[in-house]
Structure 1
């Protein structure tokens, strides 16, 4: 919308007491917040003087808000009366911003607040729950908010799917007044990460690395994503997965973009329906994707062009959008086969998992002359993959007792042992004694229980981190059309993992 001069990062503070509010404000300042939202409705207070003391002692520019339907029962009077009293006092104290809900903002109330203020900016907001509005409905709501005469308008929506965020980007890009827009929940996270691309006035962050659905930590915004650098020309890349919060891709690709001077941002994309995702986010600015569980196989059907090997495997891990015609093109990146350093020719290669990553490993092992044996929770999927690679499938219940020979190779391509379920392992420690080499595609955590126990019984272990790095290097080159900064990216991995 052309109105943003500097992206502001805001921390929302919801605390029960003035003392907690002040401590949280100190924390927000330390972590780089430009301003804070003081949610006065979260406080328990019996007299307006408690709020007054907080506002006088604030150490950061502040938005004072008071949502009626979430006000503490112990606050002064009824919620509407308390809301107006708090906002009036904030304006008298020259607080930088006050937020008033559209339902409260009658002509008389707004006229009074505007007449009282000297420097305070007034935000009129609407919180939409239960169903995602269309572009037209959002546009009409913003027009209604704008008609109040507010300095800034604000819309917060619930979303069910990541595709529901698209109308928010549309209104951000076309709004002619300062607009704060946010989608809440994990699937709404991209409203914050990509908001600056479409002209967002500010983004929201959480304190102390706390995990809040739909919010990044202030530290991530400032140090990993550095959203100040995101603008209308920024190319969007990301990892399509479900779940996706464990992905380390953003920790690696975003610093690498900045290191090379490439105008790109790499974001986690929590996708439920990959076909619908590509239908909605179809512009050339959505330029490249890593594909994770459980979408690797369905992604084949979403691509306009697929490498013959990927067709054979039936799964893809990297997609780029060709800028000349916007078509989705699968591009081959080594998916871990090379990470297994030991020669596999003539060996028994035991694979756990028959998804996209497992299929790539199975084909790679077969091409290197291994006997491939596949275990999977869904036995029918194991049998289908075994047939494709002329291998053998066995029920997952037989895995611990499978021991036709010593010196076998084990590869875990399932999600067993991945955060947060780090105490799990696909194979018992006793059974691991039959294996010469153990590879785990899981890289969060770096040293899984499987790898720890394999090392304890004397097997050579290979972490999924190596597969991740090799894949990231290849993808970065495909995304940017240039060489990946390998030394830099490996240094980042050592620091972050």
Structure 2
């Protein structure tokens, strides 16, 4: 099965109580403390946050006596029992990305000891499997052995992945685990598909930001286990979300094969607050759905890799491509020439919409006094990308004279020509310096967005005379452009208004339900304050 045919697992994850497994996908937190006391504290913290299993990373412990590890291991397992979470004991060697640099016999003996004193799971590297099973001591039947492999360079071909999983089961694994590095988001699709191709339980995770979907959607696609860190600073693998995010934001405990998936497609995308406001709205509506961040290099291959996803918010730089990739388009999106929303249709195709323009234009009109306040006004639009096209189109629709500028003048010329007689292209440098001005300034670019908050598309001196200045950037809420515009006496409109407004319209397109606008706004603000 290739990435283009990724679908949800036909049933629940392949784990049953008869085989000694816990039903459902486990949420695991790695305990990486250096002392036993600190490890016990992390065990309790993980349980309080919602972890349903903890990984005891013995290779991080500095106060364990490896010549007699049973007392330390027993203490840790008792702490897990008291916290009501099963334990997975891992003793990762340096040659597989861990901390341990000692001898293999000593390491394998400690893992056998962990099984003997009651660990429910132990993790053994696939490369060490033969030596482990041949070493002294038996693994009790109530301890399940995970054979694991980590690829820190890439995600191998489907053929190699499937072969390695089968080799793990042939070597004696109760559970197979493969963690790879996602070079493209399509690698996540291939890893999500892996559990559905196996006869036994599989942990399949892709590391890095492009691998995030493999972690956030593991329950939907039948993964045995996924990882969440205690905090961003304690992540045990690149791109690992926190256990709080898994439980609260993405509601992994509620996911099933039937869960609908939506997401924000962009590059970059980690700054986006879309997951916060959309997941809050989906939860409030009681819908079996989740919304995830999707770091995408090329839109078309991504869309082919995830054909079962129900809809997408689209941001920089994919808004023009979104229209091209859709099988059909809303007339407004077609006129604008850019889409920020893709919705899966009953036949499987995608329909494109644009909700950017109405949200932004409504906010600017309100700042001008309401009604048809833009009619006859001179509006400067900075940027001729997808968002710029939406803003310029909306202003023309409301009867404004639009002047478009872009750092690449050819793009501004093309947009002005597409808009007709009510639009004109001007030099970006002239707008930035104040030689060309108007009644309303609308910045559609990402200039001034976190982490480059010190940047601004237009000099402070050039802002005098504008009645309203709008900035599509909403992280931070108060950009340098808006701060300096306020100091010049302009009414300012934050990108938050456009962001929440366009998302509310998207929610309606995704679900057919009325968006909880106040909840979405508050969820966005809460997310920004927590960052």
Provide TM-score, normalisation by structure 1.
0.91
Distance 1:208 1:88 in 2: 30
**Inter-CA distance 157–463: structure 2 relative to 1 (3 Å threshold):** same
Distance 2:417 2:75 in 1: 70
The secondary structure found in structure 1 opposite 2:127 is coil
Q: 1:453-468 to 2 correspondence within 5 Å?
A: 453-468=484-499
Matched residue, 1:229:
254
**Inter-CA distance 207–423: structure 2 relative to 1 (3 Å threshold):** farther
The secondary structure found in structure 1 opposite 2:220 is helix
Partners of 2:108 and 2:135 within 8 A in 1: no
Matched residue, 2:244:
219
Shift of 1:23: 4.5
Instruction: Please list the CA deviations of residues 138-162 of structure 1 after superposition, one character each: whole Å capped at 9, or x if unmatched.
Output: 2211111111222221111112111
Distance 2:454 2:199 in 1: 52
Aligned with residue 392 of structure 1, among 420, 424, 429? 424
Instruction: Please list the CA deviations of residues 55-88 of structure 1 after superposition, one character each: whole Å capped at 9, or x if unmatched.
Output: 333333332222323589996743x234213212
RMSD, aligned CA: 2.6
The secondary structure found in structure 1 opposite 2:328 is coil
Distance 1:6 1:74 in 2: 30
Partners of 1:169 and 1:195 within 8 A in 2: yes
Partners of 1:22 and 1:54 within 8 A in 2: no
The secondary structure found in structure 1 opposite 2:482 is helix
Shift of 1:421: 1.8
Distance 1:496 1:73 in 2: 33
Distance 2:456 2:35 in 1: 44
Matched residue, 2:19:
none
Distance 1:399 1:113 in 2: 77
Partners of 2:91 and 2:100 within 8 A in 1: no
Shift of 1:209: 4.0
For the pair 1:476 / 2:476, whether they are aligned, the reply is no
Shift of 1:339: 2.1
Matched residue, 1:68:
93
Shift of 1:13: 3.4
For the pair 1:449 / 2:471, whether they are aligned, the reply is no
Distance 1:76 1:246 in 2: 38
For the pair 1:359 / 2:389, whether they are aligned, the reply is yes
Instruction: Decide which moves more: 181-190 or 384-393.
Output: 384-393
**Inter-CA distance 462–113: structure 2 relative to 1 (3 Å threshold):** farther
The secondary structure found in structure 2 opposite 1:105 is helix
Instruction: Decide which moves more: 350-359 or 365-374.
Output: 365-374
Instruction: Please list the CA deviations of residues 160-190 of structure 1 after superposition, one character each: whole Å capped at 9, or x if unmatched.
Output: 1111222222221232212111111110000
Shift of 1:394: 3.3
Aligned with residue 243 of structure 1, among 254, 261, 268? 268
Distance 1:56 1:307 in 2: 63
Provide TM-score, normalisation by structure 2.
0.85
Partners of 2:380 and 2:403 within 8 A in 1: yes
For the pair 1:370 / 2:400, whether they are aligned, the reply is yes
Shift of 1:298: 1.1
Matched residue, 1:175:
198
Matched residue, 2:459:
428
Shift of 1:279: 1.7
Aligned with residue 279 of structure 1, among 286, 291, 304? 304
Shift of 1:486: 3.2
Aligned with residue 10 of structure 1, among 28, 43, 58? 28
**Inter-CA distance 72–355: structure 2 relative to 1 (3 Å threshold):** closer
**Inter-CA distance 54–46: structure 2 relative to 1 (3 Å threshold):** closer
Unmatched 5+ stretches in structure 1: none
Partners of 1:48 and 1:76 within 8 A in 2: no
For the pair 1:41 / 2:59, whether they are aligned, the reply is yes
**Inter-CA distance 458–100: structure 2 relative to 1 (3 Å threshold):** same
Instruction: Please list the CA deviations of residues 299-324 of structure 1 after superposition, one character each: whole Å capped at 9, or x if unmatched.
Output: 1110111233322322101111112x
Instruction: Please list the CA deviations of residues 238-289 of structure 1 after superposition, one character each: whole Å capped at 9, or x if unmatched.
Output: 111011111111111112212212111111111111011112222xx31111
Matched residue, 1:87:
111
**Inter-CA distance 375–50: structure 2 relative to 1 (3 Å threshold):** farther
Partners of 1:271 and 1:277 within 8 A in 2: yes
Q: RCO greater where, 1 or 2, for CA within 8 Å and sep 6 or more?
A: 2
Distance 1:249 1:404 in 2: 35
Q: 1:166-205 to 2 correspondence within 5 Å?
A: 166-205=189-228
For the pair 1:338 / 2:362, whether they are aligned, the reply is yes
Distance 2:73 2:380 in 1: 64
For the pair 1:322 / 2:345, whether they are aligned, the reply is yes
Alignment size in residue pairs = 491
The secondary structure found in structure 1 opposite 2:261 is strand
Distance 1:484 1:308 in 2: 23
Unmatched 5+ stretches in structure 2: 1-12, 16-21, 81-85
Shift of 1:46: 8.0
**Inter-CA distance 7–455: structure 2 relative to 1 (3 Å threshold):** same
Instruction: Please list the CA deviations of residues 183-207 of structure 1 after superposition, one character each: whole Å capped at 9, or x if unmatched.
Output: 1111000001111101112221122
Partners of 2:433 and 2:459 within 8 A in 1: no
Distance 1:289 1:71 in 2: 37
Q: After the TM superposition, which parts of structure 1 deviate over 6 Å for at least 4 consecutive aligned residues?
A: 71-74
